[in-house]
């Protein structure tokens, strides 16, 4: 707009020129957004809408079936397998969301106090996060192998961690925490470094120290990061699939079958795409509601 200001011309000319400029700016924006938007519409919105459409048909994996109204949803509500998979997902979220956030905070505080080799230690904790899930799961399968693993060698325990009802889900949770805690640590570290030193100085002048500093300065000033992480963690914990698929395949006898594993089995093993779509849509609604609820609770707290 600089030229309109410097070249003061007749009012009407200025308006048209400004209109033209605005229009061309909009065009540029649209052009720049187009590649993303196109991909977004084609590969996200379109499949989502199709899934919603399939959920009211009796489609198989490769053939679009006929419209059958809400019967897939009626079946879903009465399906004990769906409810137990929802329960298993909730159990996994319980085992991970708060622990991985808390652990991330602890590690961040510890690393933040380091003077020597801070970057090195930080990198060590972050390292697992850059590994793909297949590598992480393979590592832990070997570490915990009940006949040949290092845990067996060190402790003599022959617990089959991923195949025992009481240990399967907690072990999957531990693997997940080990894998993802580095990300939380990094965000907390950034949060910690954003708290100005002066605030701490002022507080200590007022007599705060140790836990008091944490309770009245660190914790409240970190709260925005904490809420962000809790929300991200909740969503990603509810979406658990790959670790379960590789480590336990939902076993032993369905005790770790989370919702997405159930959806996968329904679609790709039993070839029932209609019902699998209904599971997907219903689960989408569940995640949405839970995240909104959590956001409401957390924002009230702040």
Applying CB under 8 A, the residues found at the interface with other proteins are 58, 60-63, 141, 145-148, 158, 160-165, 248-254, 265, 268-272
Least Å distance, CB 250 to other proteins, is: 8
Strand partners, 57: 67
Least Å distance, CB 180 to other proteins, is: 24
HSE toward the beta carbon, residue 276, CA cutoff 13 A: 19
Least Å distance, CB 72 to other proteins, is: 13
Least Å distance, CB 65 to other proteins, is: 9
Is the CB of 65 or the CB of 99 nearer to other proteins?
65
| Cβ-contact 282, 73 below 8 angstroms | yes
Closest CA to 224 of 194, 191, 196: 191
Is the CB of 182 or the CB of 250 nearer to other proteins?
250
Is the CB of 42 or the CB of 165 nearer to other proteins?
165
Is the CB of 24 or the CB of 155 nearer to other proteins?
155
Is the CB of 24 or the CB of 164 nearer to other proteins?
164
Least Å distance, CB 284 to other proteins, is: 23
Q: How far, CA to CA in Å, does 79 sit from each of 74, 172, 211, 257, 279?
A: 9, 25, 49, 14, 11
Is the CB of 125 or the CB of 272 nearer to other proteins?
272
Least Å distance, CB 55 to other proteins, is: 16
Task: Name the CA dihedral angle for 86, 88, 92, 97, rounded to a multiple of 10 degrees.
Answer: 30
d(CA 248, CA 168): 7
Is the CB of 147 or the CB of 299 nearer to other proteins?
147
Least Å distance, CB 70 to other proteins, is: 18
């Amino acid at each position: 707009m600089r030229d309109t200001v410097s070249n003061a011309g007749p009012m009407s000319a200025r308006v048209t020129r400004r209109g033209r400029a605005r229009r061309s700016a909009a065009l540029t924006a649209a052009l720049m957004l187009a590649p993303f938007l196109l991909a977004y519409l084609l590969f996200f919105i379109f499949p989502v809408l199709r899934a919603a459409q399939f959920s009211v048909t009796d489609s198989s994996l490769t053939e679009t079936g006929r419209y059958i109204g809400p019967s897939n949803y009626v079946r879903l509500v009465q399906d004990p397998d769906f409810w137990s998979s929802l329960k298993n997902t909730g159990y996994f979220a319980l085992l991970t969301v708060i622990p991985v956030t808390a652990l991330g905070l602890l590690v961040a505080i510890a690393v933040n106090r380091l003077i020597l080799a801070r970057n090195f230690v930080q990198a060590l904790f972050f390292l697992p996060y850059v590994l793909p899930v297949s590598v992480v799961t393979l590592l832990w399968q070997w570490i915990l192998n009940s006949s040949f693993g290092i845990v067996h060698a060190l402790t003599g325990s022959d617990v089959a961690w991923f195949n025992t009802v009481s240990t399967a889900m907690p072990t999957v949770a531990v693997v997940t925490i080990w894998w993802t805690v580095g990300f939380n640590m990094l965000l907390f570290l950034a949060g910690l470094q954003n708290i100005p030193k002066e605030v701490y100085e002022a507080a200590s002048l007022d007599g705060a120290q140790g836990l008091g500093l944490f309770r009245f300065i660190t914790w409240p000033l970190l709260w925005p990061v904490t809420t962000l992480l809790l929300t991200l963690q909740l969503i990603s914990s509810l979406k658990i699939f790959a670790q379960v698929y590789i480590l336990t395949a939902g076993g032993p006898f369905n005790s770790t079958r989370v919702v997405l594993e159930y959806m996968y089995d329904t679609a790709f093993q039993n070839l029932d795409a209609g019902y699998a779509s209904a599971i997907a849509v219903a689960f989408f609604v569940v995640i949405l509601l839970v995240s909104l609820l959590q956001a409401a609770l957390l924002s009230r707290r702040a």
